[in-house]
Every structure is written in C-alpha cells, then in structure tokens.
Amino acid sequence: MTAQNLAPRRGLEYKWKVLISVVFGIFMIILDSTVVNVALQTLRREFDAPLNQTQWIISIYVLALGITTPLSGFLADRFGLKNVYIGGLVLFVTSSLLCGLSPNLEMLIVFRALQGVGGGMAQPLGPALLYRTFPANEQGKALGFFGIALVLAPALGPLLGGWLVDAELWRWIFFINVPIGVLGVSLASRFLRKEETTRKPTLDPLGIITATVGFGSLLYGATNAADLGWTSTTVLLSFGVGIVALIAFAIIELFVVKEPLLDLRLFKTPAFLTASLIGYVSVLALFGAEFLMPVYLQALRGRTALETGTMLLALALTSGIAAPIAGQLYDKIGPRPLVVGGFSLLLVNTWQLSQIKGDTSIGFIIFLLALRGLALGMTVQTTFATALSSVPPRLLPRGSSLINGTRFVVQSIGVAVLATVLTSALSPAVRAQSAQAQESAASAGVATRFGVCETPGVTPADNIPPAAAAQISGLPQAQQAAAKQQILAGVQQACSENLVGFEQTYLLTFYAAMLALFIALFLPGWPAKWAGRAGLRRQHGEGKPAAAD
C-alpha cells in the first residue's frame, strides 16, 4: 500500500460533489414546470393573445420535455453522461434568457420548446449520476437528499411566480433561471468526472421516430382533453396515433433492433415492474391532488397566487424533511414499510380532503397539506430508488429515461382525467358563468380577487363577482336588490357544484392510493430480508463497482 493511499482525503468526497451539482441543475428545471403557470393570464394580456394561443406557452414545454426525456439515456450512452447532462443545462439556461427577452408570443413559444428539450435531456440523468457514484448502501440516502429539490421546487414555483407577477416583473420568471443555471453548469463542469465510453451504441431510428410520435401524441391529447373533451376529434386522433405508435415502438424495441432506445425488458424484473406500477398510480394519487388544491384555494376561496403558494409550502417543508429520512431508512429496511406506511397515511389524508367545504378552516387545510407532504416524502423517491436499484449500472441512464418518460405521460393523462372529473360536476349554466367571469377579469387588465365560495374581507351576502357588482350599480335603484339576489343565488349554486366536483375528484385519487397501497405489499423489504442494491447486483452477476469517491 502506497503512502498516497494512506494519506487522509482532503475536501468534500466526490459523491457529495455530484449530489450538489445535480441538485442545483435539476432544481431549476423542476421549478420552471410550475413557476410559469401563475403568469399565464399576465402573459395573455402582455401579448394581447387569446387563451388558446397563450396556453401553448405551457403545452409546448410539456410536449418538448416529454418527447426528449425518453431519448436522454441513448444520448448519454453515445456522447457521455457528463456531456449530455451539461449540454441540457446549457440549452435550458440559454433558452430561459431568450424567453425573458422574447418580443412576441411566437418567439416565446419557440424558446419554451427549446427549454423543454434542454430539461428533457438533463432531468433523467441526475438520478443516474447519483446511482453511479454512491455506494449501494447509500443510494437511498442520496436520492432522499435529491428528493428535497424534487418537492421544494414545484411548491416554490407558484410562490415565486405569484410574487413576480404581483410586482409586474413577469420576465424575471425566466431570468431567475439564469443565475441558478449558470451555477449548476459551473458546478457540474468542475465536479463531474468525464467517463470514457468504451463503445458507442447503434442508432435506433425506428425507435426514435415511433417514441417521438407516440409520447408526443399522447401528451398532446392529454393537454387538450380537459378543454376540448375526450370525445373531440383532435383528442381521439391524438390518442389513437399515440397508442398505435407506442405499440409499434414496443414491437421494434423487443423484437427488431439489437440495441433498443429504451430497454423494455427491464419490466421483466419484479422489483422494477412493481416499483414502476406504484409510481404510475402514485402520480394520480399524489401529484394529481396537488393540481386540485391551488384551484380550490384560488377559485373557491379567493386567495391570490402568492397566498396559495405560501400555503402550499407546508407540503413542501414536511416532504423535504421526510425525504432524506426515508432515504436513509430505505438503505436499512427496504422500500415496503416506507411505501405502505406512506400510502396508508395518504388514504386517511385524501379522504379528509374529499370532505372539505367552502368554509373549512385554512389552518386545517394547511395541516392536511403538511400530512400529505410526509406521505409524499416517504413514497415518491422510495419507489424511484427501488426501480433503479434493479437496473444494472451500465443501463442506469436508459432505466432512468424509461421511468421518467413513462411517468411523465401518465402524470399528464392523470391530471387531464382529474380536470375532466372536476368540471363534469358543473352544470352548463355554471360553466358559462365561470368562463364569462374569467373573460371579464382578463379584459379588465387586473387580477380580480374573487372566490366562488368565499372572498376574504367580503361578507357572504355581498360575495358576487366585481364585474357583476359594477353592472348592478348601473341599474335603477328598484332593480338592484333583485338583480343582486339572482347573481348571488348563481354564485352559491356554483360553489355547491364545485365542491361536489372536488369531492368526486379527491375520491378518485383516494381509490388510486388504495391501489398503490395494495401493490406496495409486493415490494421487497422488511419484514423480509433486504439486501439492497448489492443483493440485486449479485443477482445480475455483476461485481463490485469501482470506488466513486
């Protein structure tokens, strides 16, 4: 043994440098998935565009992200994990700057598409970098700390976006990515080691084409389903093309090409299949419900985007505390007790959320969100870690791309289903009233503070839309009282129907959580023996990896 080997290590170990680099890079990408949403009406007024055109600012990002994610693993194997990861970050940061400088809506949509391409390249490679670096008995801990960024970023998005919109600084929604991204690129360039690729994988053009068409068509259909309806020609055609393309993709990957774009045979591994199925169901049970709460707080309770983001911090904080603890427990006892416990808590929590009313205490809702954060911290990264634990190290980029790409599609379709269930409880009259109120608010050029069930500072007897109040004031005195009562009755009816919609939608996520809990019983872990990734590696006949620090 040489004197160099006996010398104490100086500075931070390599594995922690990788974790820091990945957290900064991926945090920015995930933050951007929610920060733009609250600025949609502001962007609509800024560019004087109709809603169906402005919606593409969000839709094109989702499409580009979902299409590129399945390709990232192949790109990493062909051009190097570090190169593709940093390249994705650089493209994302550059596109963010161009988004903020966009002079018109068309240019903004183009640069948002480039943002999605950059994010889709980099995001799936973060977990692969961690799993290649951390030893087998610490990989749960690594993904646990990484999970803090995954849960904090989506919760901080509406808070940051609401604050910037209120301050009339909407361009900074994009500019804020630049300093974070530059730091992430700098850290990755300095800390990450360049891996020498022994061979370059063969291009799979048929797989790329069918995957792009399949994932893209499904995402496009899901994006339009809630607005156009599931039976519209556009939606049916999109889903039809997507399903046919993905069937063709599966046949090509399994039976035609020697080096598939995505290794679908990973689903033959029981741990990978079980954890993936739980991940798909949990997308509906967990993240679908997170789509509902901002709608409830803003549309029904009259809270601003900034106030809503502040309330949602409770969920982010508790999940940020739970995720690293769950990661360390995962290394010791395995995923089964964590996921079963998390979904058991989620069942109770979701049932309580299905019973909320138009005057439920905001403090109680924050408490429910905090409990939900604990369940999220115990389950999401745990199932992801379990799936990757069964993937051989050489296939980690492809495995991460497969999990992220399929989860992304399931999440988009799940949110569209929940939006449909939510609106299906509304009568045609209430839908027309809601659309008219939104149009009036958009044309007014200011954010109108109004909640269908409650508006802070307004008595229930006076809780009518400001535009309606202005119309009543222009009527003769003798007609004002009757007109006000008529509008108030419509508002109360809208409140009642919306609450029924929220109850039905939360109940759907309750049944999804019940299904996930059942599947979780088949995961490895306590009370059975848990050998972690080291045991699964021996099953694959792989030796011990080289030290990563």
Cβ pair 211, 251 in contact under 8 A = no
Query: Which pLDDT score, from 0 to 100, does residue 548 have?
Result: 38
Structure tokens at 472: 């009543």
199 within domain boundaries: no
Full residue range of the structural domain in which residue 143 is found = 14-193
Is residue 417 situated within a structural domain? yes
Same domain, yes or no: 237 and 324 = no
d(CA 116, CA 15): 28
Residues 243 and 224 both lie in one domain: yes
Quick one: 535 and 485 in the same domain? no
Question: Helices (DSSP H) in 123-269: which residue ranges?
Answer: 125-133, 139-166, 172-175, 177-191, 205-228, 233-251
Same domain? 348 vs 459: no
Give yes or no: residues 380 and 523 share one domain: yes
Domain CATH for 80: 1.20.1250.20
Q: Is 198 domain-assigned?
A: no
Helix, strand, or coil (residue 142): helix
79 plus 149 within the same structural domain: yes
Q: 173 by DSSP, 3-state: which?
A: helix
For the entire predicted model, the pTM comes to 0.83
Nearest CA among 335, 394, 322, 336 for reference residue 131: 394
DSSP-derived 3-state class of residue 27: helix
79 and 174 both lie in a single domain: yes
What pLDDT is attached to residue 467? Answer: 74
User: Residue 487: what are its φ and ψ, rounded to 5°?
Assistant: -65, -40
DSSP state letter for 197: P
pLDDT of residue 485: 86
Please state, as a whole number, how many other Cβ atoms lie within 10 Å of the Cβ of residue 46: 16
Q: Are 491 and 507 in a shared domain? A: no
Whether 74 contacts 399, CB under 8 Å: no
Joined together, the tokens standing for residue 88 give: 């994705």
Q: What is the DSSP letter of 450?
A: -
Q: Does 273 lie in the same domain as 230?
A: no
Whether residues 419 and 474 share a domain: the answer is no
Same domain membership, residue 508 and residue 494: no
Q: What is the pLDDT of residue 1?
A: 44
Judge whether 93 lies within some domain: yes
Look up residue 8 and give its DSSP letter.
P
In a domain, 549, yes or no: no
d(CA 272, CA 388): 7
**345 found inside a domain:** yes
Report the alpha-carbon distance of residue 116 to residue 351 in Å, rounded. Answer: 35
From CA 532, how far away is CA 166, in angstroms rounded? Answer: 48
Q: How far, in Å, CA of 376 to CA of 286, rounded?
A: 7
Position 243 in a domain: yes
Domain boundary among 193, 222, 246: 193
Nearest 5°: the CA angle 322, 378, 285 is 125
Single out the residue in 139, 162, 193 at which a domain terminates: 193
Same domain, 480 and 539: no
Q: How far apart are CA 412 and CA 415, in angstroms?
A: 5
Q: How many domains, the chain? A: 4
Looking at residue 7, what is its pLDDT? 44
Answer whether residue 5 is part of any domain.
no
Q: Which pLDDT score is estimated for 531?
A: 65
Tell me the average confidence (pLDDT) per consecutive run of 10 residues in the chain, 549 residues long.
Answer: 47 86 86 77 80 79 87 89 94 95 92 93 89 82 80 78 82 90 91 76 89 91 84 93 95 90 88 89 74 84 83 86 88 91 93 92 93 89 85 85 86 84 82 66 58 87 79 75 83 90 91 91 84 55 41
What is the C-alpha separation between 196 and 179, in angstroms, rounded? 30
CB hemisphere CA count around 401 (13 angstroms): 29
Domain boundary among 214, 229, 260: 260
